[in-house]
Amino acid sequence: MDFATEYAVRRLIHRSAELQDLGQVEELAQLFARGEIVFGGLGQVYAGVEGVRNLLSQNVFYDANGTPGDPTQIYATTRALHYITNVDVFIDLTGCAAATSRFLIVHQRDGSPRIVFGGRYLDSFAAEGDGYHFRRRIVEVHIVGDTEGYLKTNLWGA
């Protein structure tokens, strides 16, 4: 695999986390315009722009005053940070770029950081004229922490 491909794939992985942390729903949805996000073990698939919008509608966003807010109307974030680590970029069995990475989401609530989720992303990518894009992201959640104030409903029932 050439350096440019590896760099482009790593950039997409990190950009997706950054956009979610910043509450930039539309920009994040565009990264998956030709792809999907699959939650392993739950059987839920969020395809394309509308699918990612629906996925993110389950998050609680906050304005600058700490009041729940709509990121499509005002600047609002989840008050969370994604930590991405152990990114391994490779060519999969179909000959396409793929990657695995570990993630940890930490949410600020009541003045202290709390772990929300931890797990692994299994990403596959496709290249087209305008560069690389996500084909599929499989989210494997291994740790479910304090989801209060981060999700409207906890899909994992913890």
| Cα 102 versus chain centre, distance | 12
* Separation in Å, CA 6 to CA 30, 96, 140: 20, 12, 22
| pTM, 2 dp | 0.92
CA pair distance 12, 7, nearest whole angstrom: 9
Identify whether the C-beta of residue 79 lies closer than 8 Å to the C-beta of residue 109.
yes
Q: Please tell me the CATH code under which domain 3-144 is placed.
A: 3.10.450.50
pLDDT tens digits, one per residue of 76-118: 999 999 999 999 999 999 999 999 999 999 998 778 899 999 9
Identify whether the C-beta of residue 31 lies closer than 8 Å to the C-beta of residue 55.
no
Domain ranges of the chain: 3-144
pLDDT tens digits, one per residue of 6-46: 999 999 999 999 999 999 999 999 999 999 999 988 889 99
Residue 126's Cβ-count burial label (10 Å; 0-12, 13-18, 19+) is middle
Identify whether the C-beta of residue 20 lies closer than 8 Å to the C-beta of residue 28.
yes
